[in-house]
Amino acid sequence: MFTPSLLFRRVLLATTSLGLILPNAAQAQEQGAPPARVGQVAQVLGDVSFNGAGSNGRWVPATLNYPLRSGDSLFTQPGAQAAIALGSSRLVLNANTELQITGLNEDNFSATESQGEVFLALNDLAPSQNFTLRTPSGPVTIDEDGEYAVTAGTAGNPASIAVLAGEASAGPTRINAGEEAYLYPNGQSQIGPVAQDGFINQALAEMAAPQPPYV
């Protein structure tokens, strides 16, 4: 289970300062040159925190429709969820998930998933585009439209990539639709049938409804 740092706990206590932090974050992003591609906080359910451009290195409450770029992080508290929109694609963060965007441009999206579970619904990927999520047990790369779920794993459990539709790679291992690969810290992997959990089923049901594109 994720234990927030002392700095994070102090931020949660300093509620009187949050009203000043968020406007400063927006001003900082407006002053810089706009990146070629940005994401967007598309959903905030429960306590979701943001750390990135303009937050002065502190965790602050995430704001709906806030732009996301390389270096930004989201963390969902227990019982919370968040979603990121990238064009017509969407990433959903389950509770107790920490995701930091490490690269975002017209061709690639990369992020470090240090804990938790992320559902990806990828649409309209160009041949040159790919998504990479780095887990504690290694990276997962996706270069095809489809639906995927990546779990970071824990000290006693491997990371995993479930491919519900599409194809993905974990190192030299190719994972096909209907398969789930389990990734171990020693570099070994094991493939079996997809084991859908409640979060995946919920995400699939929500994705069945049309999602507004991010412009």
Domains along the sequence of the chain with CATH: 6-207 (2.60.120.1440)
pLDDT score at 29: 41
Average pLDDT over residues 127-145: 95
Average pLDDT of the chain, as a whole number: 84
Q: Which helix (H) or strand (E) holds 31?
A: helix 18-31
Percent of the chain with pLDDT over 70: 80
pLDDT digits (tens, 9 = 90+) for 11-59: 333 333 433 334 444 443 444 545 557 899 999 999 999 999 878 889 9
User: Residue 91 corresponds to which tokens in the numbers above?
Assistant: 């990433």
**According to the model, what pLDDT value does residue 168 have?**
97
- Whether the CA torsion 17, 18, 19, 20 is positive or negative: it is positive
DSSP string over 45-112? ESSEEEESTTTTT--EE--TT-EE-TT-EEEEPTT-EEEEEETTEEEEE-TT-EEEEEEESSSEEEEE
| Rounded Cα–Cα distance for residues 71 and 143 (Å) | 22
pLDDT tens for each residue of 188-203: 899 999 988 899 989 8
Gap between the Cα atoms of 197 and 75, Å rounded: 21
What confidence tens digit (pLDDT) does each residue in 154-179 have?
A: 878 899 999 999 999 998 899 999 99
Say yes or no to pLDDT of 210 above 90: no
pLDDT at 186: 85
Query: What is the predicted pLDDT for the residue at 209?
Result: 67
CA–CA dist 170, 88 (Å, integer)? 24
Cβ–Cβ < 8 Å for 39, 62: no
